[in-house]
Each structure stands twice: as structure tokens, then as C-alpha cells.
Amino acid sequence: MSRLAALLLAALLVTGPAVGQTAAPGVDPGTRIAFPPSIAGTTLTRSNGSTYEYTAPNGIGITVDVYDNGRRVPNGSSHPTIINQFTEELANTRQQAESAGMRNFEKPSVPSACTYGPWNLRCINFSASGGSATGRIYGKLMLIGYRDHFVKIIAHWSQTGGQTNADADKLLTAFVPALLH
């Protein structure tokens, strides 16, 4: 992926504070989720203590954010608190894409549920036009309430990388249960 494409993708997908390099994996103190150097064949590439970025050998990236927005978060994916936060996260993703110069943001009109192992997450697929170097950027936004926190997972890939939604689902089928155990 070109440097411009990587910058656009980062602007599209990183939410919250800037993400910096990390020397060691972490454990989120609230959820006790461990973020080891490798999960389900992906490699931890960056973190800042609440945002963790993993990359798969095929180029699919996975960003995990853990936060509570100063309130107690119910477990699962169907509570109104989760649904409202999901709607906000999707709007933020769209806004970040537009701010990064991407256009033609597309998504289904209604989110769905994605099940990976025992976990049922609120989710939606999206895409936006990047530059000529990236073609379309594709992603899957997922959110779940887990141990009083929001856990947001975004898988992302570029059209020019040749990955598909099926490739992302295969990766997420291994990644999500390994992360939320």
C-alpha cells in the first residue's frame, strides 16, 4: 500500500487518541483483555494503551479500541446503550473518511449482528473510495459491551490488496474468540 493510501486508511480508521508505537503488549485493566504480540495469526503493530492495531499476513488490519466513555456499559450487543454508541461510531467513521478526502461512503441501511464463536457483536460493512493507489477501502465495524466497557473492532482492507469480505470473516472467526476469552 502506498504511503498516501496508508495515511488515508489511518485517518479513516483510527478513532480516539493518536496511536503510538509500543514496546510491549498490554492488558486492559478494566476488561482484563490481553493484547499479546500475536493473536490468531495477526501481529500487534501499534498500541497506545486503549487502541491496539494488528495486521494479518494477507494485509487485513484489525484495530481494537477499549473504552467506557465514563459510564458503565452493559454486556452484549442489543442494549440501547450499545446501539446508540454503535450509531455514533459509524457516524464518526464516515466523518473521518470524508475528512481524509475519501468519498462515496457506502454501507447497508441497517446494521446486523455478527457471531464469532460465542460472541454476538453489532456490526456493519462499509466502504469508501480512496485514491487511485487504493481503489476502495473496505471495512467491518463491530461493537460489543464487554465487562462494563465498549470493545470496538474494525477490520479493514483495500481493494488493491485483493482481500474480500470472506477473507476478513475467516480472520475474524479466529481473532474475536481469541481476543474475548
Phi and psi torsions of 9, nearest 5°? -65, -40
Using the 8-state DSSP alphabet, how is residue 23 labeled?
Answer: S
Cα atoms found within 13 Å of the Cα of residue 121, Cβ hemisphere only:
26
Question: Which pLDDT belongs to residue 91?
Answer: 96
Q: What number does CATH give the domain 3-17+28-179?
A: 3.40.1000.10
How far apart CA 79 and CA 132 sit, in angstroms, is 40
Query: Which stretches within the chain are classed as H helix?
Result: 3-13, 80-99, 165-179
- Could you report the per-residue pLDDT of 55-102, keeping only the tens digit for each? 999 999 999 999 998 888 999 999 999 999 999 999 999 999 888 888
How far apart CA 76 and CA 179 sit, in angstroms, is 15
How far apart CA 117 and CA 178 sit, in angstroms, is 9
Cell numbers that stand for 116 in this block: 464469532
Question: Which pLDDT belongs to residue 3?
Answer: 35
Low-confidence ranges of the chain (pLDDT < 70): 1-25, 131-134
pTM above 0.75, yes or no: yes
Query: Which stretches within 109-164 are classed as H helix?
Result: none
Question: Which pLDDT belongs to residue 69?
Answer: 87
Question: Which pLDDT belongs to residue 52?
Answer: 97
Annotated domain spans of the chain? 3-17+28-179
Cell numbers that stand for 170 in this block: 475467516
